[in-house]
């Protein structure tokens, strides 16, 4: 008999999500060593699934493993951020193309919501809420345009870039005034189901940000530390969704 849809999740998967959140919510700071014993005791588990989770995070580049010395929350230089944005340029370009090809009418309605939210940001400038819509939008494109392999990769690198505090506040590379219209153009292309334009506009969008980053390197405006603030996880990609900051996860028990 088959186990229809019954998903067994191992401890390490839960721990993986918890640590990921700890990093994103800055309970674990970039460069900091991850205290295995303390964390394991805190979660009421042994080091085995904890180390396992850390190895997952290592593959995702969120932590760095130094053999015989432990795991450290990863730091990114601005040069590395440029590389990551170059990756995102082509990957989200692909996601935008696929989104334009696959989008359903219901999803187009959600796109319109984003459009509205961006328009509002235009009239009532507020960097904080704009940054949220920005993240939500990129996550939404990933959600509808990417699956399997592409989605996995993009989610990782989106988290890294959103969590890197660059230049202005809220982790934005450029001010809203510069990016709102670019977002609107991308939304329009996807909504029109025009894959070629969607891809090209998304890539342009990133190229502009990359140019800004490179400019900062030249001007020595470099911020050295990675930083995180208010990252949204899970499915909350619609602008209408929650805007509160996520709660801290509850402690685990080995029991169901």
Q: Site for DNA (CB under 7 A): which residue of 37, 105, 148, 218? A: 37
Q: Shortest gap between Cβ of 64 and DNA (angstroms)?
A: 12
CA angle 230/168/216 to nearest 5° reads 130
Q: Site for DNA (CB under 7 A): which residue of 31, 42, 46, 112? A: 46
d(CA 43, CA 84): 32
Closer residue to DNA in complex, CB, 69/235? 69
144 in Cβ contact with 102 (< 8 Å): yes
Closer residue to its own copies in complex, CB, 116/147? 147
d(CA 203, CA 88): 9
Q: Helices in 105-226 by DSSP H: which ranges?
A: 105-123, 127-145, 148-162, 176-191, 195-218
Q: Site for its own copies (CB under 8 A): which residue of 18, 62, 73, 93? A: 93
d(CA 47, CA 62): 19
Q: Shortest gap between Cβ of 151 and its own copies (angstroms)?
A: 10
d(CA 227, CA 29): 8
Q: Site for its own copies (CB under 8 A): which residue of 5, 8, 37, 250? A: 8
d(CA 117, CA 243): 13
- Interface residues with its own copies (CB under 8 A)? 7-10, 12, 51-52, 55-56, 59-61, 67-68, 80, 83-84, 86-87, 89-91, 93-94, 98, 147-150, 153, 157
- Interface residues with DNA (CB under 7 A)? 3, 8, 10-12, 33-37, 45-49, 51-52, 65, 67-71, 254
């Amino acid at each position: 008999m088959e186990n229809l849809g019954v998903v067994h999740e191992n401890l390490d998967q839960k721990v993986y999500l918890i640590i990921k959140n700890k990093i994103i919510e800055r309970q674990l700071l970039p460069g900091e060593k991850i205290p295995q014993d303390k964390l394991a005791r805190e979660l009421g588990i042994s080091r085995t699934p904890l180390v396992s989770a850390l190895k997952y995070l290592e593959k995702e580049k969120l932590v760095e493993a130094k053999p015989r010395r432990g795991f450290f929350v990863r730091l990114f230089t601005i040069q590395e951020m440029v590389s990551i944005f170059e990756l995102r340029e082509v990957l989200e370009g692909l996601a935008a193309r696929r989104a334009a090809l696959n989008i359903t009418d219901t999803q187009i309605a959600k796109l319109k919501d984003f459009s509205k939210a961006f328009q509002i940001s235009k009239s009532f400038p507020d960097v904080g809420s704009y940054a949220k819509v920005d993240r939500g939008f990129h996550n939404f494109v990933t959600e509808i345009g990417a699956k399997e392999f592409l989605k996995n990769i993009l989610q990782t690198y989106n988290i890294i870039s959103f969590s890197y505090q660059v230049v202005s506040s809220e982790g934005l590379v450029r001010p809203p005034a510069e990016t709102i219209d670019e977002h609107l153009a991308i939304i329009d292309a996807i909504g029109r189901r025009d894959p070629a334009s969607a891809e090209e506009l998304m890539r342009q969008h990133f190229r502009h940000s990359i140019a800004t980053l490179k400019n900062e390197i030249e001007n020595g405006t470099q911020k050295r530390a990675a930083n995180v603030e208010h990252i949204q996880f899970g499915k909350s990609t619609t602008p209408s969704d929650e805007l509160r900051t996520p709660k801290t996860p509850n402690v685990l028990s080995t029991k169901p």
